[in-house]
Amino acid sequence: MPELAGSMPRISISTEELKGWGQQWLSEVNPETGKSKKSACFDRHQSVNFASFIDVAFANALAVMLGEIPVKRAKSSALIPPIPNCVEVGPVRIIGGIRPQNFDAAYRPDGPRVVFDSKTLNDFKSVGKNWQNMVNDLATEAATVHTRFPYAVVAFIVVIPKPALGRKQEADMIRTLERLGSRKDVLDQAHLAEALALLVWDPASGEVDPAVPPADSILRIEQFSDQLYPHYWKRYKGLPPHD
For the segment 10-15, the average pLDDT, to the nearest whole number, is: 94
- DSSP states along 127-153: HHHHHHHHHHHHHHHHHHHHTT-TT-E
pLDDT above 70: residue 111: yes
230 Cβ neighbours under 8 A, 6+ residues apart:
none
What pLDDT, on the 0 to 100 scale, is given for residue 36?
52
Q: What are the structural domain ranges in the chain? A: 15-236
pTM to 2 decimal places: 0.93
Give the CA count within 13 Å in the CB-facing half-sphere of 126. 19
For the segment 9-33, the average pLDDT, to the nearest whole number, is: 84
Give per-residue pLDDT as tens, 31-76: 555 455 666 788 888 888 999 999 999 999 999 999 999 999 999 8
Give per-residue pLDDT as tens, 114-127: 999 999 998 888 88
Distance CA 8, CA 230 (A): 9
Give per-residue pLDDT as tens, 192-221: 999 999 999 999 999 999 999 999 999 999
